[in-house]
Amino acid sequence: MSTTSTGIRVAAEGDIPEGEALAVPAGVTGHTDAIAVFNDEGTYYALDDTCSHGQASLAEGWVEGGEVECPLHSARFCLRTGKPQCMPATDAVRSHRVEVRDGEIFVHPGQEAA
Amino acid sequence: MKRIAVVGAGLAAVSTCDALRTQGYDGELVLFSAEEGLPYDRPPLSKDVLLGKARREDVLLRPADWYEQRGVELWPGAAVTAIHPEQGTVELAGGSAVGAERIVLATGGTPRALPVPGGDDPSVHLLRTWEESERLRERLLPGARVVVVGAGLIGAETAAVAVALGCRVTLVDPVAVPLTAAVGPEIAEVLHRRHAEEGIEVVTGGVERIERAEGSEEVSVHISGRPVPLAADTVVVGIGIRPGTALAEAAGLTVDNGVVVDAAQRTSHPHVFAVGDVARQDGHRRHEHWEAAQQDGEAAAAGLLGKPMPQRPAQWFWSDRHGSRLEAVGSMADAGRTVLRGVPGGGPCTVFGLRGDRLVAAAAIDRVRDIKAARRLIDRGVAVDAARLADETTDLRTLLRG
């Protein structure tokens, strides 16, 4: 996996099943948190993996309708913006731009998706 | 409305304040907390706080600066002693009155004391507040003999923490397999058996009395049907709560196992709302779950502001014990039959409760995603095929598509 402005390759299309997510460790991306890469009906999104409310991994959450629901306390976040959609979360999680090139999924850590 | 007063400072109270602001209320908002310090979340009190893993700042419901940002005036240590909805005031200890056009009661409840001789011995701990959790934690030392009375959620979690901390734990409950009504017999049996597997002595029986010989450091806990009492350094009682209805009763509101409210959390007085553990919706059971308290706040805010009621998903709760996570959704009492997914006792496992071809409840050990799928199947009223639910190779998401 290589860095640079081309982004970091995190997976190939098909590696992340529909409705699932992959947590990419901070050591791989150089980002402060692990990054969760979600597949919501064929569209890929990336957010900071740690819920802004508890200490859960959003990659373990429920992905549907453009949102991810935290596995621990059911806070929901917009996959595109990282903004909380309901309580108990009140703070957004960071979003990262995702790019699909030639069947490969790239994340740009720190570049906001929206 | 010029001012809304929220009485109490638990999740339901803070949720009400949050939702009022989110839904556009721009008047004054005062949060009266009988306790000192910033409002905190209660579930960790029988888990990470008791384990010594979480400090007060780790369990705050909102950070300190949130209150100012959201325009919520927090009055810590301000116990409300009376409400006067006709005059539009709340009265504080000391006699001062604060004006409020609307009042939200979020007074929670107090743990039921053990109604037996010696039930008030200093060795007996209840668990509801930060201070109570701190006090109990100081007693959970390696080798300490701890008797936990009540094997519901709080008792089971406390027993699990105590044994993890090296205490010698006995768990006492009159019911042979607690939680059966809530999670079904299959899961309840696995949960209860786990206590013994983790080294807890499990006793089926009721506490008759607690005795302390003069000058003794220990107490004797007498159990029905057992000739020899249990010797204990510390006793923890988790046998439910009494809803904190005193203010409502004194104000003449309708109270019946909780302050009776409508779907908008409105009490029998149109200017008073009630949320969280203290409230009971007319025609329903009173619920004491965390998420329900949060949703009560959102509903009350909508009711106060005359906005449409938010949709309520099927009820959900969780409990952590012995490193495993129990979750349940819906109402197992409504199920006509149950379907298992996985083998109870053999690791992660889910039980689904069906009524006809509709899912009405589910309970699971270490299967968070099954519960999330189940909740959606219940809420959307999707017809389900029992064989596919039971088949572990079925992706439950596919059932949502009908």
B186 belongs to a structural domain: yes
CB spacing of A19 vs B397 below 8 angstroms: yes
Chain A residue with Cα closest to B326:
A72
Same structural domain, B16 and B79: yes
Burial-class residue A56 by CB neighbours within 10 Å (0-12, 13-18, 19+).
middle
Is pLDDT at A3 greater than 60 in this prediction?
A: no
CATH number of the structural domain spanning residue B70: 3.50.50.60
Residue B218, domain extent: 124-237
Question: Taking CB atoms and an 8 Å cutoff, what residues of chain A touch B65?
Answer: none
CA angle A85/A86/A91 to nearest 5° reads: 75
For position A4, what pLDDT does the model report? 52
Same structural domain, B278 and B231: no
Enter the tokens of residue B91.
């009265």
Where are chain A's structural domains?
Answer: 8-108
CB spacing of B18 vs A73 below 8 angstroms: no
When the pLDDT of each residue in chain A is averaged and rounded to a whole number, the result is 92
Chain B residue with Cα closest to A90:
B62
Q: Check residues B256 and A90 and name the one with the higher pLDDT.
A: B256
Same structural domain, B28 and B41: yes
Is pLDDT at A87 greater than 90 in this prediction?
A: no
How confident is the model over A42-66, as a mean pLDDT? 95
CB spacing of B15 vs A87 below 8 angstroms: yes
Same structural domain, B142 and B229: yes
Same structural domain, B373 and B346: yes
For position A2, what pLDDT does the model report? 44
Question: Taking CB atoms and an 8 Å cutoff, what residues of chain B touch A69?
Answer: 372
Is pLDDT at A90 greater than 90 in this prediction?
A: no
For position A1, what pLDDT does the model report? 47
B315 belongs to a structural domain: no
With a cut of 50, list the residues of chain B below it in pLDDT.
none
For position A47, what pLDDT does the model report? 97
Pick from B143, B144, B112: which is nearest to B235 by CA? B144
CB spacing of A71 vs B298 below 8 angstroms: no
Chain A residue with Cα closest to B289:
A73
For position B71, what pLDDT does the model report? 98
CB spacing of A62 vs B369 below 8 angstroms: yes
Same structural domain, B335 and B299: no
ipTM of the complex: 0.86
* Euclidean distance between CA atoms B43 and B344, whole angstroms: 26
- Tens of pLDDT, residues B147-194: 999 999 999 999 999 999 999 999 999 999 999 999 999 999 999 999
Decide if A19 touches B, using CB distance below 8 A. yes
Of A62, A87, A90, the CB nearest to B372: A62
Task: Please state the CATH superfamily assignment of the domain spanning residues A8-108 in this structure.
Answer: Rieske [2Fe-2S] iron-sulphur domain (2.102.10.10)
For position A60, what pLDDT does the model report? 95
- Domains in chain B: how many in total? 3
Residue whose pair of structure tokens reads 């995702």 in the numeric block? A98
| 3 state DSSP class of A104 | strand
Decide if A73 touches B, using CB distance below 8 A. yes
